[in-house]
Chains A and B, each alone.
Chain A
Amino acid sequence: MTHAIEIADLHKSFGDNQVLQGIDLTVEPGQVVCVIGPSGSGKSTLLRCVNLLETPTKGKVFVEGVEVTDPDVDLDAVRRRIGMVFQQFNLFPHMTALQNVMIAQRRVLKRGRSEAEAIARENLEKVGVGDKCDTLPGQLSGGQQQRVAIARALAMNPDLMLFDEPTSALDPELVGDVLAVMRKLAEEGMTMLVVTHEMGFAREVADRVVFMDGGVVVEDGPASQVIGDPSQERTKAFLRRVLHPEG
């Protein structure tokens, strides 16, 4: 079976700053993999290399068996199959929630207006903001905006989803709604690669947890093992800081 995502010896530098220093990682179809680690460890960069928002300096990335790092690949076609959810939501502020979810269906997938609208409403309903169709993003709470962003990605029927710290910009009381939607997606069998600081979510939902530090994968295994019984000293230190911040 082809891997959903396969990353081999991935390097990425920004100038002299080596952010990723040889990452190897695979995600199987239907798996939920959470990437954890201190800020600056390269988690987001790793995620952004999967759909080529960042161009890797060295190494290969395969999505469903297609090498996306091949310069001749049709990137737009690859990205169509990969949903992406950003920390800052990045909704289009000049369009209503409904239009946000419809626009790429119309312009990229060339779906008809009524079909696109039906799919948009269905997905907005699914993430619990079905009553906000005609609202502009500026009038929505952060949690609602992020759920519209998830609906926007889902409407494209992606084969896999990337989440880049989806709850980090939210007020604490709004985090739960977004995590609930993600949990539902996971239960439906969506392939997900999630960069997160939500240890509870990772422990409960992830099939695998990857701990990154200093641009390398330090530990990769089942959630219960990496979070519950880490083998590496760096993982232990990180988890101590995150789970018991008061010391």
Chain B
Amino acid sequence: MTDLPKTAEPARARLSPRKKQQISRAVQYALLVVALVAIVLYADWGSLAQNFAKVDVAEHALPELFTIALRNTIIYAVGGFVFAFVLGLLLALMRLSQVRPYRWIAVVYIEIFRGLPALLIFLMITFLPLALPGFQVPFGTYGQGILGLGLVGAAYQAEVFRAGLQAVPKGQTEAARSLGMSATRAQVTVIIPQAIRMVIPPTTNQFVALLKDSSLVLFLGVSGEYVELAKFGNDLASQYANATPIMVAGVTYLIVTIPLGYLASRLEGRKGRKP
């Protein structure tokens, strides 16, 4: 028993924490180098370039890539976003309502539309005319796409708004009410404007998610002037039996989504810095 410390002592001396860290770092770099070498040696670069980055195929995507595809992506995304924003705010207010059935309706809606794959909603929308004879979604394909994106987006946006509304201090309502404002007036003038300000960063992220989900419009069976980026890329890719148009569409998404992502984190940062 007495020589226990003695055996522990040399063990510690053999590998200092600094030494251990150096070894760990070296192993990580070695793995990275091995992976890179393997990729460089075994990938068929010529074939990859032929299939994913063929310049003359990419050229065929212009100018419709921007004039039709990107334009439509933005129409679907912005339209769906406006729909989701308005319905989301309404659902959030219902979710926090004193009237119990309103709360139930909001909860059921939010759970269903967050729980289902967005794709399923889009597929259902294509069957709407069968279910409701004579019913037409206004604005045709645009309307259908915007409806699908809006219905799904509203469920997420409702939760964003709920968090914002609940984050407004209770004293704000008390101050408004003690000035003689009605409950509704206090919500509209004092609470909702503050909640919207607070949820600008997460709402920006919601818009990015919605912009990506606009690719699901593909499943509405759109064609011609209604195609958005994903459908556009996919059609051209089939036509030329080459993946380059899909890559081009992907890069176009990133041109929009990455700056928006940075914007969202900038806005978050600013909010954090303010007292």
How many Å lie between the Cα of A104 and that of B178 in the bound state? 10
Contact A90-B174, Cβ < 8 Å, known A79-B180, A104-B180, A108-B179: yes
Interface check B193, CB cutoff 8 A: yes
A80 interfacial by beta-carbon distance below 8 Å: yes
Interface residues on A, range: 20 to 34
Q: Which B residues touch A107, using CB under 8 A?
A: 181, 185, 189
- B190, A92: Cβ atoms under 8 Å? yes
Central interface residue in B182, B189, B274, by most chain A CB within 10 Å = B189
In the assembled complex, which residues on chain A have CB atoms less than 8 Å from the CB atom of B181?
A: 76, 104, 107-108
A86→B180 contact, CB < 8 A? no
Do the beta carbons of A138 and B274 come within 8 Å of each other? yes
| B166 CB-CB contact with A under 8 Å | no
By the criterion CB–CB under 8 Å, are A80 and B180 in contact? Answer: yes
A84 contacts chain B at the CB level, 8 A cutoff: yes
A51 at the interface (CB under 8 A from B): yes
A129 to B193 alpha-carbon distance, docked (Å) = 25
Give chain B nearest CB distance to A149 CB in angstroms. Answer: 8
Name the residue among A77, A90, A152 with the largest chain B CB count within 10 angstroms. A90
The residues of B that contact A221 with a CB separation of less than 8 Å are: none
In the bound complex, residues from chain A placing their C-beta under 8 Å from that of B176 are: 92, 104
Q: In the complex, what's the smallest C-beta–C-beta distance from A158 to chain B, in angstroms?
A: 10
Contacts A90-B171, A92-B172, A94-B193: A152 and B179 contacting too (C-beta < 8 A)?
yes
Q: Is the CB of B189 within 8 A of A93?
A: no
> Contacts A94-B193, A94-B197, A138-B274 hold; do A51 and B182 have CB atoms under 8 A apart?
no
Q: Report Cα–Cα, A108/B176, bound state, in Å.
A: 10
Evaluate contact between B180 and A92: CB separation under 8 angstroms. Answer: no
A88 at the interface (CB under 8 A from B): yes
Chain A nearest CB from B194 CB (Å) reads 6
Cβ–Cβ contact A79 & B172, under 8 A:
no
Given contacts A107-B189, A108-B185, contact A90 B172 (CB under 8 A): yes
- Contact A76 to B182, CB < 8 A, known contacts A92-B190, A94-B197: yes
Q: How far is the CB of A169 from chain B (nearest CB, A)?
A: 11
- Indicate if the CB atoms of B275 and A86 lie closer than 8 Å: no
User: In the bound complex, do residue A138 and residue B275 qualify as a contact, i.e. CB atoms below 8 Å apart?
Assistant: yes
**Cβ of B26 under 8 Å from chain A:** no
Indicate if B222 sits at the interface (CB-CB under 8 A).
no
Interface contact B194-A82, CB-CB below 8 Å: no
For chain A residues 97-129, which have a beta carbon within 8 Å of chain B? Answer: 103-104, 107-109
The yes or no answer to B254 lying at the interface (CB within 8 A) is no
Instruction: Please pick, from A80, A86, A93, A138, the residue contacting B174 in the complex, using a CB distance under 8 A.
Output: A86
CB–CB B175/A92 < 8 A: yes
B residues in contact with A104, CB < 8 Å: 176, 179-181
Q: Is the CB of A156 closer than 8 A to any CB of chain B?
A: yes
For B114, list chain A residues within 8 Å (CB): none
A53 CA / B180 CA spacing, docked (Å): 12
Query: What is the minimal beta-carbon distance from A133 to any residue of chain B, in angstroms?
Result: 19
B177 on the A face (CB < 8 A)? yes
Cα–Cα distance between A82 and B179 once the two chains are bound (Å): 8
A153 within 8 A of B: yes
Q: Which 10 A-B pairs have the closest CB atoms?
A: A80-B180, A90-B175, A104-B179, A84-B178, A90-B171, A108-B180, A79-B180, A76-B180, A88-B171, A94-B193
Known: A84-B174, A84-B175, A108-B185. 6 other contacts (CB 8 A): A76-B177, A94-B193, A103-B189, A104-B181, A149-B175, A156-B180
Q: Which A residues have a C-beta under 8 Å from some C-beta of B?
A: 51, 53, 76-77, 79-80, 82-84, 86, 88, 90-94, 103-104, 107-109, 138, 149, 152-153, 156
Q: List 27 A-B contacts (CB under 8 A).
A: A53-B174, A76-B177, A76-B181, A76-B182, A79-B179, A79-B180, A84-B174, A84-B175, A84-B178, A90-B169, A90-B172, A90-B175, A92-B172, A92-B176, A92-B190, A92-B194, A94-B193, A94-B194, A103-B179, A103-B189, A104-B176, A107-B181, A107-B185, A108-B179, A108-B180, A108-B181, A156-B180
